[in-house]
Amino acid sequence: MPHISKNNKILSLKNVYKTYLQGKNHIPVLRGITLTVRAGEMVSIMGSSGSGKSTLLNIIGLLDDYDQGEYLLNGTLMGKMNESKAARLRNRHLGFVFQSFHLIGFKTALENVALPLFFQKISRKKRNQKAMEYLDRLGMAQWANHLPNELSGGQKQRVAIARAMIADPSVILADEPTGALDSTTSLEVMKVFKEINAQGITLVVITHERDIAAMTDRIVFLQDGVIQTDE
């Protein structure tokens, strides 16, 4: 992917539709989403539970497919593609942070952070070195050899953020990253995100907390699968 300059449309969705099939019922979740995110932006997505926030983020993150419309990631159309190609794109260009951390329980913090580089077939030594560097950046160096269950919620999320950053993605997608954290820790995590954003990485954060959303450049409000406001 070519160098991403500011004001480039890094994410571009046009009229995206997504319907889930549950039994015989079609549940329309996204009903014509049109959204553009420029490189370097920090956007939050808000909306009530079930409004389709996660679905939207999963489509952006190439974890799910969409039924209709167009989605361009840095100018390239993301249509139907095989899983191997999607995996490669996720690995190189996207970072994920989840509400429930999604760390692998039997791997240490360091090994968790290094995982994306493992899938790039980078040698153990190099990837551990880089993982250590990122853990250090997030103030987690001394926890490198701990297992996730030995860490607090905030620490786990820091490890997850380090993991999301390690492969130098252009976009980091976070689905309620502070949802499982207390307010102080939440603010710390958001501060980390702001720092990351300051380095030029585009951020899309789902949240249902006003004060968290207020820390971003732009708030997209979703309701019943359509964008209500975009401010």
Partner 1 sequence: MELLIFNKDTWQEIVYTIRQNRMRSLMTVFGVFWGIFMLIILIGTGKGLQNGAYSSFESYATNSFFIWARNTTKPYKGFGIGKKFNFTNDDTRVLRTTVPQIKALGPRSRIRGETGFNNVVYKDKTATLTIYGDEPEIRDINLMEITKGRFINRLDIEQKRKVAVIGLESLPLLFTGGQDPIGRYIRISGVEFQVVGVFRLPNKNDDRYEENSKAVFLPLSSFQQTFNWGEIVGWYSVNVKSGYDAEQVKKKVRQILARRHHVAPNDIRAFGSWNMAAEFKKMSDLFTGIRFLIWFVGIFSLLAGIIGISNIMLIVVKERTGEIGIKRALGATPVSIMSQLIFETLILTSLPGYIGLVMGVGVLEIIDRILVFLRTDTQMFENPQVDFYAALATLAVLTLGGVIAGIIPAFRAVQMKPVDALRQ
Q: Where on the chain is the footprint of partner 1 (CB under 8 A)?
A: 58, 61, 63-65, 83-84, 86-88, 90-92, 96, 98, 102-107, 111, 115-116, 118-121, 123-124, 163, 167
User: Would you call 228 helix, strand, or coil by DSSP?
Assistant: strand
Residue whose C-beta lies closest to ligand ADP: 54
Least distance to Mg ion from the beta carbon of 64, Å?
A: 12
DSSP 215: T
CB closer to partner 1, 24 vs 121: 121
Of the candidates 182, 126, 185, the one whose C-alpha atom is nearest the C-alpha of residue 158 is 185
CB closer to ligand ADP, 52 vs 148: 52
Which amino acid appears at position 113 of this protein?
V
Interface residues for ligand ADP in 179-198 (CB under 6 A)? none
Least distance to Mg ion from the beta carbon of 196, Å?
A: 22
Terminal C-alpha separation, the chain: 29
Least distance to partner 1 from the beta carbon of 7, Å?
A: 28
74 touches ligand ADP (CB under 6 A) = no
Find out whether 101 and 156 touch, Cβ atoms under 8 Å.
Answer: yes
Question: How many residues belong to the site for ligand ADP (CB under 6 A)?
Answer: 12
Q: Residue 128 and residue 136: Cα distance in Å, rounded?
A: 12
Helices and strands (H and E) in the chain: how many: 7, 10
Least distance to partner 1 from the beta carbon of 83, Å?
A: 5
Q: Residue 71 and residue 92: Cα distance in Å, rounded?
A: 18
- Which listed residue (47, 95, 116, 154) binds ligand ADP by CB under 6 A? 47
Of the candidates 225, 76, 103, the one whose C-alpha atom is nearest the C-alpha of residue 162 is 103
Interface residues for ligand ADP in 49-68 (CB under 6 A)? 49-55
Site of interaction with ligand ADP (CB under 6 A): 20, 22, 27, 29, 47, 49-55
